[in-house]
Amino acid sequence: MSDTATTTAPTVTGERADLLAQLALQRHFLRHTTRDLSDEQAALRTTASELCLGGLIKHVASVERAWVGFILEGPSAMPDFANPTPEDLARRADVFRLLPGETLAGVLAAYEEVADRTDAVVAALPDLDASQPLPAAPWFEPGARWSARKVLLQIIGETAQHAGHADILRESLDGAKSMG
């Protein structure tokens, strides 16, 4: 896999190696959708949604950062989903687009930093079964707990889902495809 941004995972074996390899693959597919784009192209909305390629990279990095914070610190590391302020909502909307002064290279570099931290945390976790209570949110079962393993599966799934979104955005932009 060659990309402008690559992540070197710590040396791990077994289940952790499998989880990190799958996450690295999904990150590659997501980053690959931005190959050879200008900042202006990465900021363009190419479908009816508010999504742009640069914004998707920012969003995935933000979500991964929050979930890793959850693994380490519990629900206090997550945004307030139950009672967001108008400022919270505006800040969340800004994560889906490139703001003035932001560059594709900058968001890719920030994503690489998040990925490196995630990989280091996964390598150092004493127990993938350690769990935390989920924060209050309409989409979480009240009182549910997630293990570090389940959080990693969530990050992998979300990264893969957004890589698919990014592939559609890129094909709509200039016809380029990640596969096929």
- Give me the CATH number covering residue 159: 1.20.120.450
> Does some domain include residue 7?
no
Domain that holds residue 148: 19-174
> Does some domain include residue 108?
yes
Q: pLDDT category, 93, cuts 50, 70, 90?
A: confident
Mean pLDDT of 56-65: 97
Question: Please, which residues have CB within 8 angstroms of residue 159's CB and are 6 or more apart in sequence?
Answer: 23, 26, 27, 30, 60, 64
Angle between helices 14-32 and 148-174 (to 10 degrees): 20
> Does some domain include residue 6?
no
Distance between CA atoms of residues 27 and 68, nearest Å: 15
Separation in Å, CA 139 to CA 25, 122, 145, 176:
27, 25, 13, 34
Q: pLDDT category, 58, cuts 50, 70, 90?
A: very high
Mean pLDDT of 3-27: 80
Distance between CA atoms of residues 95 and 15, nearest Å: 32
> Does some domain include residue 4?
no
> Does some domain include residue 121?
yes
Mean pLDDT of 110-114: 98
Render pLDDT for 40-56 as a digit per residue (tens, 0 to 9): 999 999 998 889 999 99
Render pLDDT for 128-156 as a digit per residue (tens, 0 to 9): 999 999 998 888 999 999 999 999 999 99
- The DSSP letter of residue 130 is -
Q: How many domains does the chain have?
A: 1
Mean pLDDT of 155-162: 97
Q: What percent of the chain has pLDDT over 70?
A: 94
> Does some domain include residue 107?
yes
Q: What is the mean pLDDT of the chain?
A: 91
> Does some domain include residue 5?
no
Element (H, E) at 158: helix 148-174
pLDDT at 180 exceeding the cut of 70 = no
- The DSSP letter of residue 146 is E
- Rounded to two decimals, the pTM is 0.90
Mean pLDDT of 157-163: 97
Which backbone phi and psi does 145 adopt, to 5 degrees? -125, 145
> Does some domain include residue 118?
yes
pLDDT, position 90: 87
